[in-house]
Amino acid sequence: MDNSRTSNAPSTKRRRRHRPNQRKRAKHRRPPSTDAVAVKTESTHNDNDQPNKRVRKQKLTSSKQPATNKADHQTKDAKTKPQDPVTDTNDKAKSLPDILTARNNEKATFEDLPVSIVQFVFSLVDVPSMCNLYIAMEFSSYAEEIAKHLDDRGVTVTAEAVATGDPENISFATLARLPPCHIRVTCNLVNMELTFWHLKQVTVKSVDLHLKNLDKRRRRFHPDLQFLGSTLKTLRLDYFYFFNDRIPTTLTNLHLLQCESYIDLAAFTNLTHIEVIGCSGVSVKELPPSIVSLKMNEVEFDASTLPHIEHVFGDKITNLPWSQVKSAKWVKIPSGQRMDQLTELEINGGPVEKDVEFPKLESVKIKSQDCKNVSNYFTVAQLAQVRILKAKHAMVEILHLLQNLTILHCRFHDELTERSQLPPNLVELSISSSESVWGVPPQLKAFSYTSVIDSKYKFRFNEPTLCVYAESDNLKSLVIKGASSVTVECPNVTHFTCWDPRKIRVDLPNLQSLTYRNSCWPSTQFPFKRGYPNLQELDLRGVSQDVVFDHPMKSVRLDDMRPQRLKFTTDRVHFNKCEIPADTDITARVLKCNSRFLSTRGIRCEELYCNEVDQVPPTVQKLSLSLRESSPYTYIHAKVPELCGCNVLTSLKITGGIWHYRRGLPVPPSVKQVSIWNQHWNRRKQHWEGVFFVTTPTRLEHFEFFDPRYDNCVAFSQQPASVFVENGCPWGQSGSLASFDSTLL
**Alpha-carbon distance 362 to 346, whole Å?**
11
Maximum Cα–Cα distance for the chain, whole Å? 113
pLDDT at residue number 110? 72
Tell me if 256 sits within 8 A of 277, measured CB to CB.
Answer: yes
Flag whether pLDDT at 392 surpasses 50.
yes
| CA separation, residue 390 to residues 364, 369, 451, 480 (Å) | 6, 12, 17, 18
| CA separation, residue 118 to residues 83, 123, 148, 337 (Å) | 20, 9, 13, 52
- Pick the most confident of 144-153, 217-226, 284-293, 583-592: 583-592
One DSSP character per residue, 556-597 reads EEEES---SEEEEEEEEEEEES-PPPSEEEEEEEEEEE-SS-
Tell me if 614 sits within 8 A of 641, measured CB to CB.
Answer: yes
Task: With CA atoms as reference, report the closest residue to 319 among 287, 348, 350.
Answer: 287
Tell how strand 702-707 and strand 317-318 pair up: unpaired
Flag whether pLDDT at 44 surpasses 80.
no
pLDDT at residue number 711? 54
Give the tens place of pLDDT for each residue, 562-609: 999 999 999 999 999 998 999 999 999 999 999 888 889 999 999 999
What is the rounded average pLDDT of the residues 285-300?
89
pLDDT at residue number 216? 62
pLDDT at residue number 218? 52
pLDDT at residue number 107? 64
Contacts of 103 (CB under 8 A, 6+ apart): 82, 85
Tell me if 62 sits within 8 A of 36, measured CB to CB.
Answer: yes
Phi/psi of residue 451, nearest 5 degrees: -75, 145
Would you call 24 helix, strand, or coil by DSSP? helix
Tell me if 665 sits within 8 A of 692, measured CB to CB.
Answer: yes
Tell me if 325 sits within 8 A of 342, measured CB to CB.
Answer: yes
Supply the angle between the helices 53-62 and 70-79 in degrees, to the nearest 10.
130
Rounded to a whole number, what is the distance in angstroms from the first to the last CA of the chain? Answer: 84
**Alpha-carbon distance 268 to 276, whole Å?**
16
What is the rounded average pLDDT of the residues 273-277?
92
Amino acid identity, residue 646?
C
- Global confidence as pTM: 0.80
**Alpha-carbon distance 498 to 516, whole Å?**
5
pLDDT at residue number 40? 37
Give the tens place of pLDDT for each residue, 403-456: 999 999 999 989 999 999 999 999 999 999 999 999 999 999 999 999 987 434
Burial class (CB in 10 A: 0-12, 13-18, 19+), 218: middle
Tell me if 701 sits within 8 A of 721, measured CB to CB.
Answer: yes
The band of 345, judged by pLDDT with boundaries at 50, 70 and 90, is very high
Mean pLDDT of the chain: 81
pLDDT cut 90: percent of the chain above it: 52
Amino acid identity, residue 59?
K
Residues making up the chain, counted from first to last: 745
- Pick the most confident of 13-17, 102-106, 536-540: 536-540
**Alpha-carbon distance 443 to 450, whole Å?**
20
**Alpha-carbon distance 272 to 309, whole Å?**
9
**Alpha-carbon distance 215 to 193, whole Å?**
16
The band of 738, judged by pLDDT with boundaries at 50, 70 and 90, is low
Burial class (CB in 10 A: 0-12, 13-18, 19+), 9: exposed
Flag whether pLDDT at 302 surpasses 70.
yes
SS3 content of the chain, % helix, strand, coil (to 5): 20, 30, 50
Flag whether pLDDT at 710 surpasses 60.
no
The beta strands (E) that lie in 287-357 are given as: 293-296, 301-302, 311-313, 317-318, 327-329, 344-347
Q: Which residue has the higher pLDDT, 334 or 297?
A: 334
Beta bridge partners of 591: 573, 608
Alpha helices in 106-242 (DSSP H): 115-124, 127-136, 143-153, 172-175, 192-201
Task: With CA atoms as reference, report the closest residue to 526 among 508, 545, 507, 513.
Answer: 545
